[in-house]
Chains A and B, each alone.
Chain A
Amino acid sequence: MSHSDNSIPQLFEQTLSGERRSLGKLLSIIEKGGEPADDVAGLAHQKAGNTHVIGITGAPGSGKSTLTGRLIENISKIGKKPAVLAVDPSSPLTGGAILGDRIRMDDLAGEGSFIRSMATRGHSGGLALAVPAAIQLFDAAQYNPVIIETVGVGQVEVDVAGTADTTVVVVTPGMGDAVQANKAGLLEVADIFVVNKSDRPGANDTRRDLDLMLDLGHLSGLEEKTGYRPPIIMANSLEGEGAEEILTAIESHASHLAESGSFQIRQEQRTLMEIQNRLELLIGSVSKDALQSESGKLIISEVLDRSISPSEAAKSIASSIIKDFT
């Protein structure tokens, strides 16, 4: 598919003018990675900086997708244009994935909101670049807020959720979810807790568990400084209960961020993390190239001859890489 209107700058122009299909195509380019993806991210970066990023995370079956569906319904009702990026794991064996859970309330089809499913495609490094780039692209296309939905397992997911402006952690009663969330490190990054399926036995116990853990100080590092304590919201996504409260909590967290200056800090953290991820990937791939080059092979043979040590070899390669960059 090499039609002339499918060049990256043109797709980007069309995206800015509200063409959903072009946005869909640019997201695919971002997902594939490499130079073209960097080009898209570069264009998007210039126009971004206005959206509120919401992370929603929870175990499979916690009802977070249904909750997200309810949430975008309510966000659309107040005249905003939300985008959702739903991240799901690929099969490590085949690279395939089933990206279900694209919950769309009937009356929302094709109006106002945008939902994109993204598979992890086996390499977490790629995801760490693709997610921020996708956020900025949605941002440039004036979607606000941007919701990132992840399964709350694995470090990448926690990182992705944790770098949002507002992170919502969804737990369910009775299954030791609160404890699991604690183990995964989700309690530290949560700005809002949702106990979903609140009609279930044990819902109040879960709420108490969370409260206790918050009392014990297992919570966002921001609390001590700013006096913010994550609220715990009882919800029932299936019946649509709690969605409005969650939206209100997100809004009040957003104004807390603005007033306390934390918004700036989060933006900085997110930028820092993105640069750091890019840097690590860049250095990683350059190092790999350097090791496989002729001069690299020469240095390896010197180590094998025992004429230089492995650490001297690494330093020598590093200095040649740095020379290449400058």
Chain B
Amino acid sequence: MSDQQYRVILAKLGLDGHDRGIKVVARILRDAGMEVIYLGLRQTTASIIAAAEEEDADAIGLSMHNAGHLTLGPKMMEAISDAGLKIPLIIGGIVPDEDIAELEKIGIAAILGPGASAEEVAATVRDAISARD
């Protein structure tokens, strides 16, 4: 067990109910030694922020389908900065290349596309957290 025990919030924001990917990611992060707090479906930015505060999370991961990254991604970023939280937001899902730069510009720490390996997933989360420390 590493000295630093990372705690990561995973959630589905909004109506989209596709949760196969995020559940796999939860298990990957657990197997990489992290504590994953999975909030489940139909979360709001408020419920995610509240959980991040109460759980003292080191990172927030959201999974999105239906091109939600363009509306919900910025909305979540705004909520994080409004709350004064300094933790990275990572988005998983189908994000076209031309949108990635835009999302990074507004401060989203990393984007995990379909087909990322377990090592890539864990390393991305770890790197995003250590970049903020």
Q: Do A and B come from one complex?
A: yes
Interface residues of A (CB under 8 A from B): 1, 20-21, 23-25, 27-28, 31-32, 90-91, 94-100, 102, 104, 109-110, 114-117, 119, 121-122
B49 touches A110 (CB 8 A): yes
Q: Which one of B1, B7, B51 contacts A102 once the chains associate, using CB atoms below 8 Å?
A: B51
CA distance A117 to B37 in the complex (A): 8
Which stretch (B28-36, B91-99, B111-119) binds chain A?
B28-36
Residue of B nearest to A83 (CB): B54
Question: Secondary structure of the B side of the interface?
Answer: mixed
* Residues of B15-61 contacting chain A, CB below 8 A: 26-27, 29-40, 44, 46-47, 49-51, 53-56
Asked whether, in the complex, the Cβ of B30 is within 8 Å of the Cβ of A97, the reply is yes
B66 at the interface (CB under 8 A from A): no
A21: chain B residues at CB < 8 Å are 53, 56, 85
Interchain CB contact (< 8 A) of B54 among A1, A98, A115, A119: A115
Decide: B38 and A99 in contact? CB cutoff 8 A.
yes
Tell which of A27, A95, A102, A114 touches B5, judged by Cβ atoms closer than 8 Å.
A95
**B35 contacts A24, C-beta separation under 8 Å:** no
B3 to chain A, nearest CB (A): 9
The answer to whether A24 and B56 touch (CB under 8 A), given A97-B30, A109-B50, is yes
Chain B contacts to A: CB under 8 angstroms: 1-2, 5, 7, 26-27, 29-40, 44, 46-47, 49-51, 53-56, 85, 133
Chain B contacts of A96 at CB under 8 A? 29-36
Question: In the assembled complex, which residues on chain A have CB atoms less than 8 Å from the CB atom of B51?
Answer: 102, 104, 115
Q: Which residues in B have their C-beta under 8 angstroms from that of A95?
A: 1-2, 5, 33
Residues of B with C-beta under 8 A to A25: 56
Smallest CB gap from B122: residue in A? A96
Residue contact A110 to B1, C-beta cutoff 8 Å: no
Chain B nearest CB: distance from A249 CB in Å? Answer: 27
Q: Using known A-B contacts A95-B2, A98-B36, A119-B35, determine if residue A24 contacts B54 with beta carbons closer than 8 Å.
A: yes
Q: Please, which residue of chain B has its CB at the minimum distance from the CB of A119?
A: B35
Complex CA distance for A170 and B10, rounded to whole angstroms: 28
CB atoms of B47 and A110 under 8 A apart: yes
Given A1-B133, A109-B50, A99 contacting B35 (CB threshold 8 A): yes
- Which residues does chain A contribute within 8 Å of B133, judged by CB atoms? 1
